[in-house]
Chains A and B, each alone.
Chain A
């Protein structure tokens, strides 16, 4: 496809990342955002000035945001038309991941709640 091209990674989308500066900048921005989100996560987990019950949810949201940063700035998943296949594969992967995780947690929590005939039995189950 590009025999005479000197580039070694002709796997790129049409994204304008062909200069040293803009490519490096992509990683630097990604690193900055990831460090920022990580810092906020650790701060949110340690501070007492936030509403306690909401902290866990906030942490999950921060983690998902950071994963998005990694996908865009490190793995270069873009919304361009030439990236459609990557995005579709990713979407399918995310679907399966959420089905497995939410499905399991949901069902197992309900089984725990509905099958607690006696506290002793419950304890026996939980302690294995």
Chain B
């Protein structure tokens, strides 16, 4: 039992045992069940996004004479957004490594950088939305734009919620230290943050790159 390693991994795992999880040892510990449950939530969130992607793909040509995809999107901005979110995800991983070793200053520093990169992403996205709405290409213009703002806006709302969660976690670590339950929450946050980056990969490919071919 003492060979359990420390990698920040999600989910229902069983250390070095061949046990199935509910055998003679009883249910798994909270530090295993909680991230597994959160992983299930993240997967259901991806199912939600798949419905938004499906409706976007169905409506992408229904522009009602309004602007189409290749007149609206700026690839350079999207490239900056993509790199910012990817680096944010990476730095979040570094924060988890520091948190596992109980290194307060380093953990907080990495988390601050994670949040700042997330803010860069969100700022660019809001700038793009504002520009589009200013040009009369708001969500009420056409079915395509409704689907676009729903899909990308839903991801942006997730990032916003993630940033608030990040701030909460930084405060909790600061005030309460690396307690087991706090670190479990931090682990769930990192899973959430990495998952948002995965969804962004689909968005920048399907919406922005294929849309501007």
Residues of A within 8 A of B (CB): 1-2, 5, 7-18, 20, 23-24, 27, 30-31, 34-35, 38, 41-42, 45-46, 55-56, 59-60, 62-63, 66-67, 70-71, 74-78, 81-83, 85-86, 89-90, 92-93, 96-98, 100-101, 103-105, 108, 126-128
Q: Is the CB of B62 within 8 A of A2?
A: no
Q: Secondary structure of the B side of the interface?
A: helix
Q: Is the CB of B58 within 8 A of A27?
A: no
Q: Is the CB of B11 within 8 A of A83?
A: yes
**Which residues of B are found within 8 Å of A71, using beta-carbon distances?**
198
Question: Cβ of B187 < 8 Å from any Cβ of A?
Answer: yes
Contact digits for B1-34, partner A, Cβ 8 Å, 1 yes 0 no: 1111111111111111010010000000101100
Q: How far, in Å, is A39 (CB) from chain B's closest CB?
A: 9
In Å, the complex CA distance between A83 and B14 comes to 8
**Which residues of B are found within 8 Å of A27, using beta-carbon distances?**
90, 93-94, 97
Pull 22 A–B residue pairs with CB atoms less than 8 Å apart, ordered by A: A1-B1, A8-B102, A9-B99, A10-B6, A12-B7, A12-B9, A12-B15, A15-B5, A15-B7, A17-B7, A20-B97, A23-B97, A27-B90, A30-B93, A35-B83, A60-B206, A86-B39, A89-B40, A97-B46, A104-B55, A108-B58, A127-B62
On whether A46 and B75 interact (CB within 8 A), knowing A9-B31, A76-B7, A105-B54, the answer reads: yes
Q: Is the CB of B12 within 8 A of A31?
A: no
In Å, the complex CA distance between A82 and B2 comes to 16
Q: Is the CB of B5 within 8 A of A16?
A: yes
The 8 Å CB contact of A85, one of B4, B12, B204, is B12
The 8 Å CB contact of A2, one of B4, B44, B102, B178, is B4
Report the interface size for chain B: residues with CB under 8 A from the other chain.
77
Residues of B within 8 A of A (CB): 1-16, 18, 21, 29, 31-32, 35-36, 39-40, 43-44, 46-47, 50-51, 53-55, 57-58, 61-65, 75, 79, 82-83, 86-87, 89-90, 93-94, 96-97, 99-102, 142-143, 178, 180, 183, 187, 191, 194-195, 197-198, 201-202, 204-206, 209-210, 212-213
Q: Is the CB of A100 within 8 A of B180?
A: no
The 8 Å CB contact of A8, one of B18, B53, B99, B201, is B99
**Which residues of B are found within 8 Å of A101, using beta-carbon distances?**
50, 53-54, 57
On whether A10 and B194 interact (CB within 8 A), knowing A82-B13, A97-B50, the answer reads: no
On whether A18 and B209 interact (CB within 8 A), knowing A2-B1, A42-B79, A74-B89, the answer reads: no
**Which residues of A are found within 8 Å of B10, using beta-carbon distances?**
11, 75-77, 86
Q: Is the CB of B75 within 8 A of A128?
A: no
Q: Is the CB of B43 within 8 A of A128?
A: no
Q: How far, in Å, is B193 (CB) from chain A's closest CB?
A: 9
Q: How far, in Å, is B55 (CB) from chain A's closest CB?
A: 7
The 8 Å CB contact of A70, one of B18, B64, B142, B197, is B197
**Which residues of A are found within 8 Å of B12, using beta-carbon distances?**
85-86
